[in-house]
Structure 1
Amino acid sequence: MKKIRKAIIPAAGLGTRFLPETKAMPKEMLPVVDKPAIQLIVEEAVASGITDILIIIGKGKRAIEDHFDSNTELELNLEKKNKMKMLEAVKKTNGLNIYFKRQEHPNGLGDAVHTAKSFVGDDPFVIMLGDDLMQDKTPLTKQLIDSYEKTNSSTLAVMKVPHEDTSKYGVINPAKEVQDGLYDVTSFVEKPNPEDAPSDLAIIGRYLLTPEIFEILENTKPGKGNEIQLTDAIDTLNKNGKVYAHEFKGSRYDTGNKFGWLETNIEFGLQHPEVSDQLKQYIKDLAKKLD
C-alpha cells in the first residue's frame, strides 16, 4: 500500500465575500491571530506526515508564494536583534516542499483539483480546503490517512450540520455505519435543498482520494453553478469502487465568511498564550457593557 505523502490546497478563489479587503490580499492570507489561515492548513498537513504540498493559486495570489519563501533580510534582522522567538516563528515554514500551480480559469473545485494531475501521478493524496480549520487531538488529515490504511479506499471527512444548512454543502446518503464514525455511502449529493437532503452529514474540507478521480474529472460535466463539482466526480468514483465517509468529531472553524472568520479569531485568540488573558478580560468587560 502506498503511503500518503502528497496534499493539494486549492487557493484560487476570488474571496468576494471579503471585499474590499481581498481586492489585493488573498483571502487565504487573512490572519487568524498572528498566522495566515493557509499556514495553519500547511501545519496540519505536516503534522499528518505530508511531505509534498501543491497550492493551486490564481491571479493576485503572489502573497501566498512570498509567505512560504524565505526572507533572508528579515531573518538576519531578527537574529541581529536577538528576537529568537520571532525568528523561529518566521522560519517555521522554511524548507517545506511546497509547489505552486495556477488555475487559469476558475471553474469549480473539481477543475482546480484536476490541475494537480501531474503532481499527484499514481499516488493517493489528500485535498485540504483553506476555509476550514480543524482542531482535534489527532489532526483530521491524519485521521483520514489512518482510515485509508485500514480500508485502502478513498475517504472523505463529514460532520453533522443543522439540517437547514445542508444546501451549503455536499451531503452524503449513508448506507450503513461500518465502524464507529465510518460510513459506507450510497451516494453523494452537491448542495441539496434541505427537503431533499439525504442526511445531516455534510462533507467538510478534507478529502483523501485515489488517483482514479482524475479520469473521472476529465469526463465530469458542469453541475451546480455551471462548474465542475468535485462532489459529482466523487459520486461517480463511489459507483465504480468504494468511497467512505469519516465523521469528524473535533472542532471545525469556517473562515470563509465574515462572521466565521471573526469567531475563529476569538476562539484561537482565547487559546493563544500571548493574548488569551487580555482577550478573556476584554470579553467579560464588553459583556457587561452590552447587558
Structure 2
Amino acid sequence: MRIAVTGATGRVGGQVVGLLAAEPEHDVVAFVRQASTYVPPAGVAVSAAAADYGDPASLRKALTGVDTLVFVSSDGHAATVMLHHANVVRAAADAGVGHVVALSGLDVDVESPFCYAVTNGHTEHLLAASGCGYSLARASVYTEFFASLVRGARRGDEVRLPAGDARVSLVARADVGRALAALALRPPSNTHHDLTGPAALGVADIVAAVDPAARYVDVPPAEYVAALLDGGETSWWTHAYATMLESIRRGRWAAVSDEVAALTGRPATPVRSLSVP
C-alpha cells in the first residue's frame, strides 16, 4: 500500500511514520510543509510530499495515488482546525483515498465544554459522509501532556487545578502512535476505537504519580485561568486548557477500553510505570 501520514514531523505523526516504514512492503509518504527539508527517522526509507492543511490544492496533489491516509489532527484555534480538517477530508474524497485513519478524541460531544470536542465531532461527521472508508482513533488525554499541566500548576507544595475529584484514563503517546499504525494496516472499520490507559485514575492519584512531593488542590476555574494569564500564557491556550479540565471535571475522559492491547498486541502503559520527564 501507499500510506501517507500528516503531521509527520510531530511526536505522534513521526512515530507513525517510523513504525509504518519498518514494514518494507509498504510505500510510506510523510506529509510536511517543506518536503526538501524533511529528515526521515533513522534507518527507514520514507518519501516526503509537500502538503499544508491550509492549502487544499497541495493536499489534493499529495493524496493522489494514496491508498491509506493517517490523519493526525491539526492544532491551533478551533475555527482554524475545523477548516484544516475539512480541507483534508475533502481532498481525500476527491483523490479517492480508500481508508482514512483519523486521530480524534475521547470527548467528541458537541455539548462538551471542551473546545476541541466540537472540532473532533465535526471531523468525524465529515468523514462519515465523505465516501472514504475510515477508522476513528479516539484518544484519551496524553499522559505526557497532563503531566506538563501538573508541573505548570504547582504553587509551592500544591498542584492547583480545576478538575474536581474526576477520574481520567490517561494514555501514552507511544500507545496512540502504535494503534494508529496498526489501524493503517487493517481494512477500514468504519467505526471508532477508544484509545485509553488501562485504568481511570483520580486527579489526586495522577498528581501523586507525576510529582510525589506535591498535593493536589481543586481550585475554581477562574483562579486557574488567572494564574495561566499571569504566567504569560496566551488567551487561546488558556481557554483550551481550562475547557479541557472542565470536560475532565464532568467525567468525559474516564472511559477505559482495551483497544490499545487489541490493536497492538501490547497492554496500554500504566501511568505509574511511565517515565514523564
TM-score in terms of structure 2 length: 0.35
Q: Using CA pairs under 8 Å that are at least 6 residues apart, name the structure with larger relative contact order, 1 or 2.
A: 1
User: Would you tell me which structure has more strand in proportion to its own residues?
Assistant: 1
